[in-house]
Amino acid sequence: MNGFDLLAIGAWGVLLLKYWLTGQLAVLIHPNYFPLTIGAGLLLVGLVGWQGWVRWREPGQPQALAEGSQLLPRSWGRFLLLSTAVVGLIVTPRPFNSQIALESGELLSMTRTMPQQFRPVNRPEARSLVDWVRLLNTYPEPDAYQGQKAKVQGFVVHPPDSPSNRFFIARFVVTCCAADAYPVGLPVDLPEAKTYQADTWLEIQGQMATGQVKGQRRLILQAAKITPIQPPANPYLY
Amino acid sequence: MAALQQGLTLFFSLLVEAIPFLLLGVLFSSILLLWVEPEQLLKLLPRHPLGGAIAGAVLGCLLPVCECGNVPVARRLLTQGMPSAVAVGFLLGAPTINPIVIWSTWVAFRDQPVMVWGRVVLTLFVAVVVGWVFSVQQDLRPFLQPAVAQALPVGQPLREPVLAAVPTGNFFALAGGKTLPLETTGWNASRLLSRRGRWQMVWVNALTELRELGGVLILGTAVAAAIQVLTPREVILGLGQGPVTSVVAMLVLGTVVSICSTVDAFFALSFAGSFTAGALLAFLVFGPMVDLKGVSLLLTVFRPRAVLYLFLLAGLLTFVLTLAMNLYL
């Protein structure tokens, strides 16, 4: 364990704390695991600081007992740790955008969760985008929702094959971290749909109606009032 | 540019989620290494082949956490007379059947409970069956590396004469004329330390393991992120949705990426949308048993032939079980 090893591991501790303090953790992982990550960051920084102090005070510390993995030469481990931590400290992680939502090609599909218990939100206008999609998974009959008020927030996605008066309002859903993010969305109809750029964040108020989407009868949001909003600090839904 | 941005976000999200678990794993494993004496457990283990294989597989709940920590322990236990069924059951089962791995799998697949219990049940099954098969070979010596075989307790006549009449190698001289072989210094040497010295060893050992495994984790995560971003969506879907091709692809990936079992669930997670459930399970079950890193460690205990048997048996069993799951569930 030399000074470089301590520096490389300490840099990862600093990176975890940076993600926490700058609020970027929300772009990377589910809030349930914030305490675990923050704890790990504090522990890493503390452990490295303390071991550095011990090394400085009493040189000639014992080496580790375990041989560890023999797959990588010793210097690779510290190089990889240090270089990725430096990249992480420089680059700001960005939430996924409409392009990625289209590539995953599942905008109209189901949520992946298999709820053991389902509590629909009673006031329709209080439902978030993912609440709507979950509700549709469980009770898929579009007519059941006709005329209900809606107020949802999300970003604009323009699927290449949708008519000119329609876009999708979408959010990514995360269960663990950004690696398992998948998009959910609702079709929105309004005459000037094309004027809204992809990736613009909007709050849409309106009424639910039914209509044809790719030859199937689906729930469609008829927009009455559209307000551009700032991208939320926490871009994902859970 | 967008692909690079997406790849980096994916890469760091996987690492930020995995590193706390890796840290827990190396701390846990270092504390066990220095404070728990696995030799005591040997006396409690059943001698029956099937019972032994089961006991070996669930021993992971009490002993170091991922495959990197387990192989040295198995090596030490074998030289102290651990039956072959227990040893093989332990080698295959312990990396997965332990609290940290089960917890991290649950964190990753909270919305797919089948992944969590499927991983535990299939791993137990494969580990017990392979351990049971290996118990047919009562004398493990022909399978072991010569150095390990020589260190086995002499209970039965050896097939090959031991060349050295007196023990050879490097020894520590202790007070009172006693000696300690160098191989056993891990646990034995720590017994000679003060409390404070032993805890100091725990921290140094944990940080060293973190550097080793962190490097492997970063490489593996980079592979996952690169595959996600660079491979065309149609290729992944085509490969990942076939019941047979998806399992084969994930078995190969599990062998190649060599991520520690404490964190490999997050790696698998990044394929959750595009691969069949059976394929993800194949990765989660087979990866910790046989991967590139594990093989190099296994070769310090077993001869290449025995490692090949282990590899084939475990691989075929995993393949058949997860394929059946894809086809019939």
- Residue A174 token pair: 């995360």
Q: Check: CATH 2.40.50.140 for A98-237?
A: yes
Judged against a pLDDT cut of 90, whether residue A11 lies above it is answered with yes
Chain B CB within 8 Å of residue A1 CB:
yes
Identify the residue whose tokens are 């689906």. Answer: A218
Residue A206, strand partner residues: A150, A223
Taking residues B177-195, what's their average pLDDT?
63
Nearest by Cα to B65 from B35, B32, B95, B34: B95
Residue B326: enclosing H or E segment and its boundaries? helix B304-328
**Do B132 and B49 contact (CB within 8 A), yes or no?**
yes
Rounded Cα distance between B326 and A224, Å, is 46
Confidence band of B111 (pLDDT split at 50, 70, 90):
confident
* Predicted ipTM of the assembly: 0.89
Torsion of CA B103, B109, B114, B119, to 10 degrees: -50
Tokens matching residue A236: 């994902």
Predicted confidence (pLDDT) per residue in A82-110, tens digit: 999 999 999 998 888 888 888 776 676 55
Q: Provide the pLDDT for residue B285.
A: 94
Which residue is listed with tokens 């970027």? A24
What whole-number percentage of chain B has pLDDT above 90?
20
Which band of pLDDT confidence, cut at 50, 70 and 90, is reported for residue B183? low
Cα diameter, chain A: 76
The 10s digit of each residue's pLDDT in B202-248 is 888 889 888 888 888 898 888 888 888 888 877 887 888 889 999 99
Whether residues A37 and B16 touch (CB distance < 8 A) is answered with: yes
Exposed e or buried b per residue across A7-26, where buried means at least 16 C-beta atoms within 10 angstroms of its C-beta: ebbbbbbbbbbebbeeebbb
Q: What pLDDT is recorded for position B116?
A: 94
Torsion of CA B231, B235, B238, B240, to 10 degrees: -20
Interface of A with B in 152-191 (CB under 8 A): 175-180, 182
Q: Which of A227-236, B250-259, B313-322 has the highest mean pLDDT?
A: B313-322
Give the residue-averaged pLDDT of A69-76: 69
Per-residue pLDDT, B16: 92
Q: What is the C-alpha to C-alpha distance for residues A208 and A91, in angstroms, rounded to an integer?
A: 41
B216 interaction partners in chain A (CB closer than 8 Å): 69, 71-72, 77
Q: Which residues contact A60 (CB under 8 A, 6 or more apart)?
A: none
What is the C-alpha separation between A88 and A103, in angstroms, rounded?
25
For A125, other C-beta atoms within 10 Å of its C-beta total 13
Contacts of A68 in chain B (CB under 8 A): 68, 208-209, 212-213
Q: Å from A156 to nearest chain B CA? A: 17
How many C-beta atoms surround the C-beta of residue B100 within 10 A? 20
Decide if A203 touches B, using CB distance below 8 A: no
DSSP secondary structure letter of residue B197: H
> Is the distance from CB of B45 to CB of B86 less than 8 angstroms?
yes
Q: pLDDT by residue (tens digit) across B32-88?
A: 777 877 667 777 888 788 888 888 888 888 776 677 677 777 777 777 778 888 888
Please report, for residues A86, B100, B179, the alpha-carbon distance to residue B176 in angstroms, rounded to integers and kept in the order given: 52, 42, 9
Mean per-residue pLDDT over chain B, rounded: 82
Q: Which has the higher per-residue pLDDT, B105 or B232? A: B105
Cβ separation of A64 and B110 shorter than 8 Å? Answer: no
Say if the Cβ atoms of A77 and B23 lie within 8 Å: no
Name the closest residue on chain B to residue A58, using Cα atoms.
Answer: B200
Burial of A147 (0-12, 13-18, 19+ CB in 10 A): exposed
**B-chain residues near A54 (CB < 8 A):** 200
Residue (of B237, B289, B249) closest to B92 by Cα position = B289
The pLDDT value given to residue B130: 92
pLDDT at A3: 85
Q: Which residues of B touch A61 (CB under 8 A)?
A: 200, 204
Is the pLDDT reported for residue B135 higher than 90?
no
Closest residue to A39, CB basis, from B20, B72, B219: B20
* Predicted confidence (pLDDT) at residue B306 exceeds the cutoff of 60: yes
A104 touches chain B (CB under 8 A): yes
Q: Which of B164-173, B229-238, B291-300 has the lowest mean pLDDT?
A: B164-173
CB within 8 Å of chain B, chain A residues 15-54: 16, 19, 25, 27-29, 33, 36-37, 39-40, 43-44, 47-48, 50-51, 54
* pLDDT for residue A49: 94
Joined tokens for residue B26: 């190396």
Residue B157: per-residue pLDDT: 43
| Closest CB from A28, A76, A182 relative to B215 | A76
pLDDT for residue A220 is more than 70: yes
Instruction: Name the average pLDDT for chain A.
Output: 85
CB-based contact B2 A105, cutoff 8 Å? no
Contact in structure between B300 and B71 (CB atoms under 8 Å): yes
Contact in structure between A127 and A117 (CB atoms under 8 Å): no
Of A197-206, B43-52, B277-286, the least confident: B43-52
For A212, the enclosing helix (H) or strand (E) is strand A201-213
Contact between A81 and B186 using a beta-carbon 8 Å cutoff: no
Check residue B197 and give its pLDDT: 82
Residue in chain A closest to B232 (alpha carbons) equals: A103
**Is B207 within 8 Å of A1 when comparing Cβ atoms?**
yes
Q: How far apart are CA B25 and CA B13, in angstroms?
A: 19
Give dist(CA A79, CA A49) in Å, integer.
19
DSSP A204: E
| Cut 0.80: pTM above it | yes
pLDDT of residue B178: 67
- For chain A, domain boundaries: 3-90, 98-237
Interface residue of B1, B8, B13, B216 to substitute, partner A, most A CBs within 10 Å: B13
Q: In angstroms, what separates the C-alpha of B313 from chain A's closest C-alpha?
A: 23
The mean pLDDT of A118-145, rounded to a whole number, is 82
pLDDT of residue B156: 46
Closest CA to B214 of B156, B247, B260, B270: B260
Place of tokens 């091709």: B245
pLDDT beyond 60 at A64: no
Question: What would the pLDDT profile of A162-196 be if each residue is shown by its tens digit?
Answer: 888 889 999 988 888 888 788 888 899 988 888 88
Q: What is the mean pLDDT of residues B268-285?
A: 89
In the predicted model, is pLDDT for residue B142 greater than 70?
A: yes
Q: Name the DSSP letter for residue A62.
A: P
**B218/A81 CB distance under 8 A:** yes
Q: pLDDT class for B159, splitting at 50, 70, 90?
A: very low
Cβ neighbours of A2 (radius 10 Å): 9
How far is the C-alpha of A147 from the C-alpha of B13, rounded, in Å?
40
* H helix runs in B138-276, sequence order: 146-151, 185-191, 195-230, 233-241, 243-257, 264-269
3-state SS class at B4: helix
* B308 vs B156 pLDDT, higher one: B308
- The answer to whether A98 and A158 are in contact (CB under 8 A) is yes
Q: If you ran DSSP here, which 8-state letter would residue A69 be given?
A: -
How close A105 comes to chain B (CA, Å)?
9
The pLDDT value recorded for residue A143 is: 87
pLDDT at residue A118 tops 70: no
| Tally of domains in chain B | 1
Q: Give the Cα separation of B13 and B264 in Å (integer).
A: 14
The H or E element spanning position B26 is helix B2-35
Question: Which of helix, strand or coil describes residue A29?
Answer: strand
pLDDT band per the 50, 70, 90 thresholds, residue A113:
low
For B2-28, what is each residue's pLDDT tens digit? 788 888 998 999 899 889 988 988 888
Indicate the pLDDT class of residue A71, thresholds 50, 70 and 90.
Answer: low
For the segment B162-173, the average pLDDT, to the nearest whole number, is 60
Closest CA to B95 of B56, B143, B38: B56
Task: Give me the pLDDT at residue A123, please.
Answer: 83
pLDDT at A94: 85
- Per-residue model confidence (pLDDT) at position B158: 44
Residues of B in contact with A180 (CB under 8 A): 108, 269-270, 272-273
In sequence order, what DSSP letters do the residues of A131-197 get, joined into one string?
Answer: HHHHHHHHS--GGGGTT-EEEEEEEEE--TTS-TTEEEEEEEE-SSBGGG-EEEEEEEE-TTGGGSP
Could you tell me the residue range of the domain that residue B288 belongs to? Answer: 2-328
Nearest CA in chain B to A104: B233
